[in-house]
Structure 1
Amino acid sequence: MSAHAFSPEERAAVYRAIAERRDMRHFSGGEVAPEVLARLLEAAHQAPSVGLMQPWRFIRITRPHLRDTIHGLVEAERVRTAEALGERSDAFMRLKVEGIRDCAELLVVALMEGREAHVFGRRTLPEMDLASVACAIQNLWLAARAEGLGMGWVSLFEPAALAELLGMPPGSTPVALLCLGPVEAFYEAPMLAQLGWAEPRPLDELVFHEQWGARL
């Protein structure tokens, strides 16, 4: 055991947050206390980022009319996605894919403008800016679970339309709508698995040794 390891109880709490994190779609209204929201955003801001560029930007949505407009953008994309799914379109339309009108807090997460100026770590992999933002979102997600709050990541929207709605500068782009708030209960398993839409794959199918496809 490393001398730098957390205590057994602390380690168990970390692994519990990871195991019980869920992409939530059902919220029970309520509020997120300002001090809790501040802790969650600070947790997100402590995420690793390529070249320490910290490309994440967070926009808190509080006006009901703006929230309704964003919901309309999501609904329009939900219909387009259903059309693209062909024979699974009806099943998709029966899924609850967002909680924008029900959640206590709605956050838009975006990539900053001017990212081309950051070369460190991105010369061959420019998409590492998006990977960094994803790390920030995951930090927030795990912290929210530890606080007893649900969070759902919604990606059903046209980025250009949302960027225009929010007055974002050229070069920036929204990548996530985060629905955050109290829930009556957390799903026992991922919602899409519970509803028969998809099944998680076991880890041993996804870990290779020495070369692609070679199992450990």
Structure 2
Amino acid sequence: MASDGLKPAGPFSDAEREAIYRAIHERRDVRGQFLPDTIDEDVLQRLLQAAHAAPSVGLSQPWNFILVRSPGLRQDIRAAFEVANDEARAMFSGEKRELYSQLKLAGITEAPVNLCVTCDRTRGGRVVLGRTHNRDTDLYSTVCAVQNLWLAARAEGIGVGWVSIFRDADLRRILGIPDHVVPVAYLCLGHVRELYDIPELEARGWGDRNELANLIFEERWGVR
């Protein structure tokens, strides 16, 4: 390695590159396929290290990871989810409400490990390099950590489900999250029996994947 900390860059081998793209395309949001088997602590630490290796604005590393394993605490979280889920269901109508009622949207008590990923908005001080003109870049950084963990989990054979249907105040109260910290993602982690070939919401008819070509513009918005 050169004295300035740089080293030669180049593409991965064909097998390495294929594995990266496989993890990306086979990643799934897991709801109902969790097994009760515990996750080996070495595997869990690798997943958290992958998350911690994410890029962050100004190297602020604003994330924290709250591991939730006790059955009682997960029951409290599930109760909070069910209240919010009933509210969410009522926001849809007709066929959408009927389909919503059939979807399993959380594996909180089935997955052996729950993980709340947070963003400490004071991390790095009052002025953070790269955050001077867009305050939300710390939140974006935390989401990068979530994606890192998700892809690493797929490579480890661990399923991940992101549960977003909560009242913010409920999650803060149950997990003791202070006001200056934002709960960004509540994740369910565990070994899985199987995965959908395509995203479950697509398979169940909730929506269709957009064609990439329809989402690409050249130089300016709307120019194809």
Question: So what's the TM-score if we normalise by structure 1?
Answer: 0.94
User: Which one of 36, 39, 48 corresponds to residue 32 of structure 1?
Assistant: 39
Q: State the partner residue of 2:152.
A: 143
Contact kept, 8 Å, 2:117 with 2:184, in 1: the verdict is yes
- 2:126 equivalent among 107, 111, 117: 117
Alignment partner of 1:97: what SS? coil
Contact kept? 1:17, 1:145, Cα under 8 Å: yes
Match in the other structure for 1:93: 101
- TM superposition shift of 1:118: 4.0
Q: In the alignment, does 2:153 pair up with 1:106?
A: no
Q: How many residues align?
A: 214
Aligned mates of 1:201, 1:56 — CA distance in 2:
31
State yes or no: 1:214 paired with 2:223: yes
How far, CA to CA, are the matches of 2:216 and 2:129 in structure 1? 29
Q: Tell me whether 77-86 or 50-59 shows the greater mean CA deviation.
A: 77-86
Distance of 1:3 and 1:143 partners within structure 2 = 22
Q: Which runs of 5+ in 2 are unaligned?
A: 1-7
- Map Cα deviations across residues 155-191 of structure 1 (whole Å, 9 max, x no partner): 1111122112111222112121111111111110000
- CA drift of 1:213 comes to 1.2
C-alpha distance in 1, partners of 2:98/2:84?
Answer: 15
Shift of 1:112: 1.2
- Do the aligned residues in 2 keep the contact of 1:154 with 1:176 (CA within 8 Å)? yes
Q: % of aligned pairs identical? A: 45
Q: Distance in 2 between matches of 1:120 and 1:85?
A: 42
Q: Find the residue that maps to 2:176 and give its secondary structure.
A: coil
1:172-183 pair list within 5 angstroms: 172-183=181-192
Alpha-carbon distance between aligned partners in 1 of 2:25 and 2:189, rounded to the nearest angstrom: 18
Query: Residue 118 of structure 2: SS of its match in structure 1?
Result: strand
The aligned residue for residue 80 of structure 1 is 87
Structure 1 unaligned runs (5+)?
none
The whole-number CA distance in structure 1 between the counterparts of 2:93 and 2:185 is: 25
Structure 2 partner of 1:9: 15
* Residue in structure 1 matched with residue 194 of structure 2 by the alignment: 185
Q: 2:58 matched to 1:51?
A: yes
Are the aligned partners of 1:113 and 1:169 in contact in 2 as well (CA < 8 Å)? no
Large movers: runs of 4+ above 6 Å:
none
Pick closer, same or farther for the CA change 1:142–1:161 going to 2, 3 Å: same
- 1:165 and 2:165 aligned: no
Contact 2:108 2:188 in 1 (8 A): yes
Structure 2 contact 47–152 (Cα < 8 Å) conserved: yes
